[in-house]
Amino acid sequence: MIPIKTESAWKGTSDCRNCGIRDMVLFADLNEQDFGQIHAPIDDLELQAGTTLFAEGAGASAIFTLRSGMIKLVRVTPDGRQRIVRVLRPGDVAGLEALATSRYGSEAVALSDISVCRIPAQVINALGSSSTRLHKRLMEKWQSALREADDWLADLNFGTARQRVAHFILKMRNPADAQIATLFSREDMGAMMDLKLETVSREVSALVREGVIEPLDKHGRIYRVLDLPALQAI
């Protein structure tokens, strides 16, 4: 854990250069004096795959901006099943509900090794109270996260198994290289799409055989999209 100096966060230097805070321009209108009023630390965390950032229902004390890697947000259904409601990627924020409620609405677990900035809720609340623009940005980000979660569930929980897997691959394409899609364990994919592990594996293998995608690693996590029109048409 590396405490980040507030002047570093303001200037966008060192470890904060690629932070989601900067990408979202949340702090764009704040000056160094604003940051100087903040006494709680902003921590840079490097966490291994499988690490839980926070549990569903736990007291919400901080938000996390994702700098690298992927995080899954998990909720327990009334019948006791775990459902992945969203996957976060660099630039996304986990735990935004900490700004309005006292509890986290889902469990956040690292899908891969990740780098995050942990920002105490009191820091955001203090800055938000002194910056109307920051408060507006935070609300916009929260609303955007809710819409995206709804879109994820709508796209990945309706249609045939083949359609769900195709939609998932399309969503997991790299923003910097749309030909590359990073997937994760078939079990986690099934939990997101409400499909059995065997079904997910079968559909991914079928797309490989048909030449729509090709694996780039031996673990079956990274794929190249060879026929985008065919994938989109499914």
How confident is the model over 21-30, as pLDDT tens digits?
A: 444 445 555 5
pLDDT confidence bin for 107, thresholds 50/70/90: very high
In angstroms, rounded to a whole number, what is the distance separating the alpha carbons of residues 22 and 104? 24
SS3 191: helix
pLDDT at 15 over 50: no
Domains within the chain, CATH numbers bracketed:
2-156 (2.60.120.10), 161-233 (1.10.10.10)
Structure-derived torsion over alpha carbons of residues 219, 221, 223, 229, reported in degrees to the nearest 10 = 140
Strand-strand pairing, 177-182 and 222-225: antiparallel
Q: 0.95 exceeded by the pTM?
A: no
Crossing angle of helices 197-209 and 186-193, in 10° steps, is: 110
Residue 185 burial (C-beta neighbours within 10 Å; 0-12, 13-18, 19+): middle
How confident is the model over 131-185, as pLDDT tens digits?
A: 666 666 667 776 777 777 777 777 788 889 999 999 999 989 987 888 999 898 8
Counting residues of the chain whose pLDDT is more than 70, the rounded percentage is 75
Q: Which residue has the higher pLDDT, 16 or 190?
A: 190
pLDDT confidence bin for 215, thresholds 50/70/90: very high
**Long-range contacts, 75-81 (Cβ 8 Å, 24+):** 75/105, 75/106, 75/107, 81/191
